[in-house]
Amino acid sequence: MSAHSPRRKRSPWTILVAIVLTAVVGFPIYWMLNTALSSQRVLYTEPQPLLPQLGNWEELADDLDGVPVVSMLSNSAIIAIGTTVLTILLATLCAYALSRYRFHGRGLVSFLLFSTQMVPQAVFLIPIYALFLGLGLVNNLWGLVLVNAAFALPVSTFIIKVGMDGIPYELEEAARVDNSPPLGTLTAVLLPLVLPSIAAAAVLAFFAGWGEFMYAATFVTGREMWPASVGLSVLAEQPSSSMPAIMTVATLFAAPAVVFFLLVQRHIVSGLTAGAVKG
């Protein structure tokens, strides 16, 4: 008898529903790409064709002339990657302390940490701006990394902590018998076991940094420092901007986030549901 349980056969209705949902969710992305490849004349004088028109490259290049697409995407990448790295580093250490150490006020620390999610981010806009103005972090990408990491930290800490709570203490005790220091135990024993939780937290942090708009539009004034979210907004507000050019930038802006999600999607569900089942 095989050690693996037989894979359950999917019904035709399940497959049909999956196809319909995929088409509904994917159609806006397809239409965005189709619009980016269409001619401006076709969009405003004729019904938009269902199939992308591939002969619009010269017109599209002229429409995007002067738009710092590479610079905007690079700035967004710096913010997103910086936010993800800083968030995961701090959230892992914070989750380890809350999960493995017993100290007075631990419940209060957890409450204060997660109570920040009860207040809209816009409430903190003016105080953070005044603070960053004094620290010289206005019109600075690293300031956006700090503010996005601060807002992504509580949820990421909770996700990683739940994963650590499901790991038996006996594994750490065995490491301590071998004279492993706490940091060594964390990196060598716990981290490999909570990688799904870290991947789920990394996705949330990356999306928070990649899609940053409110603080970037307020703190960043130089055109060369615009992330793609702000640059796309400014491009869409200009009357001279063509719809294909706007949709091209939007497609390039959405693509990295989709790729990053696909790379770590295997770990997301297991990371978000870690500790949900006990037994």
The total number of structural domains that make up the chain: 2
What CATH number is attached to the domain comprising 152? 1.10.3720.10
Burial classification of residue 115, based on how many CB atoms lie within 10 Å of its CB (0-12 exposed, 13-18 middle, 19 or more buried):
exposed
In a domain, 99, yes or no: yes
Does 43 share its domain with 89?
no
Is the separation of the CB atoms in 159 and 269 below 8 Å?
Answer: no
Does 45 share its domain with 97?
no
Does 103 share its domain with 231?
yes
In a domain, 209, yes or no: yes
> Could you please report the per-residue DSSP string of 110-174?
HHHHHHGGGS-GGGGHHHHHHHHHHHT-TT-HHHHHHHHHHHHHHHHHHHHHHHHHTS-HHHHHH
Does 253 share its domain with 205?
yes
Q: What is the pLDDT of residue 278?
A: 47
Does 87 share its domain with 217?
yes
Is the separation of the CB atoms in 45 and 243 below 8 Å?
Answer: no
In a domain, 6, yes or no: no
Does 89 share its domain with 53?
no
Measure CA of the first residue to CA of the last residue in the chain; give whole Å.
26
In a domain, 87, yes or no: yes
In a domain, 279, yes or no: no
CA pair distance 198, 271, nearest whole angstrom? 7
In a domain, 154, yes or no: yes
Does 20 share its domain with 71?
no
Does 102 share its domain with 17?
no
Q: What is the pLDDT of residue 272?
A: 54
In a domain, 277, yes or no: no
Does 21 share its domain with 138?
no
- For the record, the structure tokens of 64 come out as 């995007």
In a domain, 264, yes or no: yes
Does 52 share its domain with 71?
no
Does 152 share its domain with 268?
yes
Each residue's pLDDT, cut to its tens digit, for the chain (279 residues) gives: 444 545 566 778 888 888 999 889 888 888 888 888 887 777 777 777 777 766 666 767 776 777 888 899 999 999 999 999 999 999 999 898 888 877 777 778 778 887 877 888 888 899 999 999 999 888 889 999 999 999 999 999 988 988 888 888 888 778 777 777 877 778 888 888 888 889 889 999 999 999 889 999 999 888 888 899 998 888 888 877 788 888 888 888 988 888 888 887 776 665 555 544 444
Domain range holding 176? Answer: 67-272
Does 152 share its domain with 121?
yes
